[in-house]
Amino acid sequence: MYIHLDGNSLTLEQCRQVATSADARVQLTPGAVAAIQRSRTLVDNWVETGKVIYGVTTGFGEFANVSIPRGDLERLQENLVTSHSVGSGRWLPRDIVRGMMLLRINALAKGLSGVRIQTVETLIAMLNNDLVPAVPEQGSVGSSGDLVQLSHIALAVIGKGRCLTPSGDVEPSATALARHGMEPVRLQAKEGLALINGTQMMCSFGALAVEKALHLADVADITGALSLDALRGTDRAFDERLHKARGFTGQLHVAHRLRSLLHGSAIRESHRTGDGRVQDAYSLRCMPQVHGASRDAVNYVASVIGIELNSANDNPLIFPDTEEHIEGGNFHGQPLALALDFLAIACAEFANISERRTERMVNGALSNGLPRFLAHNGGLNSGMMIAQYSAASIVSENKVLCHPASVDSIPTSANQEDHNSMGSIAAQKAWKVVNNLEIVLAIELLCAAQAIDFLHQLKVPLYSSDALERVHSSIRSVVPFNDADRELYTDVEHIRQLIANGTIVQAVGNEVFA
């Protein structure tokens, strides 16, 4: 499978495919090759005539006023990459780094950065051969882009860095390149700067996080519907007329989904009359409002990331049509920082309301007749008591992670770079919250399936809708009914995998999620 890169048409789905699968391959379109060559020709001409251009014939940052002799221009670019490789902490996951490589190639494919085609092709060859540079997670302030992390990728390209092995160890990049018959790149004018100036780390995290969040938004609706039926709640609060009266897109979407998921439920029919409860608690009744608001937020973030996937975020940018170079700040991560803080908040709210539904199912005073803690032979067995503890812990962790990174700024480079976005921190926090949400939803599904089983076991068995019973069956295919206390870690992990591989969404069928 080849994905053709032209700098303008990369999608979130393609980004996920390349980031997560070593089988995915990329190549430049003929138009991208021509665009890269046009801008490189212009850079070569400028160097030949001794034109003063930031980062090409001058130093960087506060050293922008220092002219560099022509004979030192290659060394200037290598020194840039070497000096900026100051990351700390653990290595970034392979899929994040693969995403970074893809995004940098796509940005260079726009033909506005002035690199040689050979340099881009080396980066492509590394990606296609799954040569993944070892990149530390810490060190970016999110303006001038993710300089530190991109420098570690560039360091591997020039044969001075390290690459991750499939086992998680590291080896010299020169060794990895040689094994595949590849020569390290000798950087020429502008190339080091073009490789490291950009938002690719925060954007890679953001692309994978928002793709996952879009999926988890669907899972949250399914999970909430199953919990509502387990608690014998009403679907009247999901009436379309009610939600049209407010008009938010996400709210209308979620209400429609919940009506579809619950359609035909015998559990719902069993208490349509004679039920003394006037209305359900907010965690059930307000799912369209809460899920819908988070869904709208996730969609907004997806739109921001979708733009950045195909952006030119180098500095300076080169415009061959007018033979101009323009110094600016497209590397600044503020658009992503704000959006990624929003993504963390939106996903934390999905988790918050999920944990409250779990609490209602395990709390005998709130569960509408379900056994306390959903325990079979309660007292001897604790049932799902501590499953809710675990969800509560994760939800609390999310609240700390949702403190916005984008409101902070620490000046760098002798105050030349006096406002920084901290977008890389926002990105990593958002990634953590999204993955935490997946676990919280898995815990809710574990409890909801247990509750539905107790309704199945009534003297007159009660069953949910066909769609939700298929979800229940998919859970029971990997996690049996809990009739005696056992280690729940494994149960939660099995259900999390069902969420991650799409089984839960697929189980409801196209007629519901069309």
Residue 254 lies in a domain: yes
Residue 211 has pLDDT above 90, yes or no: yes
Q: Are residues 105 and 230 in the same domain?
A: no
Listed residues 173, 198, 223: the one ending a domain: 198
How far are the Cα atoms of 25, 42, 228, 268, 421 from residue 356, in angstroms, in the given order?
44, 61, 12, 21, 34
Contacts of 195 (CB under 8 A, 6+ apart): 81, 104, 115, 119, 123, 150, 153, 154, 157, 187
Cβ atoms of 49 and 33 within 8 Å: the answer is: no
Catalytic, 54? Answer yes
Report how far residue 296's alpha carbon sits from residue 307's, in angstroms, rounded to the nearest whole number. 17
CATH of the domain at 339: 1.20.200.10
The single-letter code of the amino acid at 81 is V
CA atoms of 104 and 124, how far apart (whole Å): 10
The answer on 476 and 449 residing in a single domain is yes
| Residue 374 clears pLDDT 80, i.e. is over it | yes
Q: Are 508 and 488 in contact (CB under 8 A)?
A: no
Q: Which of 2, 54, 300, 489 is catalytic?
A: 54
pLDDT (tens digit per residue) in 167-202? 889 999 999 999 999 999 999 999 999 999 999 999
Report the share of the chain in percent with pLDDT over 70: 100
Could you give the number of structural domains in the chain? 2
148 with 296, same domain?
no
- Cα 294 to Cα 78, 297, 495, distances in angstroms: 45, 5, 23
CATH number at residue 169: 1.10.275.10
Residue that the structure tokens 């001075």 belong to: 160
Helix (H/G/I), strand (E/B), else coil: 28: strand
Examine the domain organization and report whether 167 and 216 are in the same domain. no
Confidence check: pLDDT of 513 > 80: no
CB 86 within 8 A of CB 438: no
Average pLDDT, the chain: 95
How many Cα atoms within 13 Å fall on the side-chain side of residue 112? 24
Q: 11 in a domain, yes or no?
A: yes
110-143: burial string, b at 16+ Cβ within 10 Å, e else: bbbbbbbeebbbbbbebbbbbbbbbbbbebbbbb
Residue 123 shares a structural domain with residue 142: yes
Q: What is the four-CA torsion angle of 278, 284, 286, 291, rounded to 10 degrees?
A: -170
Within this chain, do residues 148 and 255 fall inside the same structural domain, yes or no?
no
Q: Do 106 and 221 belong together in one domain? A: no
Question: Given a cut of 90, is residue 5 above it in pLDDT?
Answer: yes
164 SS3 class: strand
Residues 442 and 460 in one domain: yes
CA distance 470 to 169: 42
CA distance 20 to 15: 8
The 10 Å CB-count burial string (b at 16+, else e) for 370-392 is: bbbbbbbeeeebebbbebbebbb
Report the distance separating Cα 146 and Cα 333, nearest Å.
Answer: 9
- pLDDT-derived band of residue 51, with 50, 70 and 90 as boundaries? confident
Q: Which of 258, 327, 241, 284 is nearest to 61 (CA)?
A: 327
Does 41 fall in a domain?
Answer: yes
- Cα separation, 204 vs 353, in Å, equals 28
pLDDT of residue 69: 87
CB neighbour burial string for 160-180, b if at least 16 within 10 angstroms, e if fewer: bbbbbeeeeeeeebbebbeee
Residue 455, CA atoms < 13 Å, CB-side half-sphere = 28
| Mean pLDDT confidence for 322-341 | 94
**C-alpha dist (Å) from residue 384 to 269, 400, 481:** 27, 25, 12
Residues 151 and 252 in one domain: no
In this structure, are 335 and 187 located in the same domain?
Answer: no
Residue 502 vs residues 91, 212, 216: alpha-carbon distances, Å: 28, 11, 10
Query: How far is Cα of residue 424 from the mean position of the Cα atoms in its chain?
Result: 12
Domain-located, residue 320? no
Q: Domain end: 150, 171, 198, which one? A: 198
In a domain, 191, yes or no: yes
pLDDT for 368 equals: 95
Q: Are residues 436 and 355 in the same domain?
A: yes
Q: How much of the chain, in percent, has pLDDT values that exceed 90?
A: 87
pLDDT tens digits for range 217-234: 999 999 999 999 999 999
**Are both 191 and 222 inside the same structural domain?**
no
pLDDT above 80 for 62? no
Q: What is the CA radius of gyration of the chain?
A: 27
Q: What angle do CA 70, 71, 76 make, to 5 degrees?
A: 80
For 384-425, the pLDDT digits (tens) are 999 999 999 999 999 999 999 999 999 888 888 888 899 999
User: What would the pLDDT profile of 234-276 be if each residue is shown by its tens digit?
Assistant: 999 999 999 999 999 999 999 999 999 999 999 999 998 888 7
Place 435 in a pLDDT band, splitting at 50, 70 and 90.
very high
**Residue 212 falls inside a structural domain:** yes
- Separation of alpha carbons 442 and 437, rounded Å: 9
395 domain-assigned: yes
Q: Which of 198, 231, 254 is the last residue of a domain?
A: 198
Answer whether the bond into residue 316 is a cis peptide, omega within 30°: yes
CB contact at 8 A, 349 and 437: no
In a domain, 252, yes or no: yes
Lowest-pLDDT range, 44-53, 131-140, 221-230, 254-263? 44-53
Least Cα distance to 485 among 361, 369, 370, 376 occurs for 376
Asked if residue 60 has pLDDT above 90, the reply is: no
* Structural domain boundaries, residue 383: 205-270+279-315+325-410+417-513
Task: Reduce the DSSP state of residue 90 to 3 states and report it.
Answer: strand
pLDDT for residue 514: 66
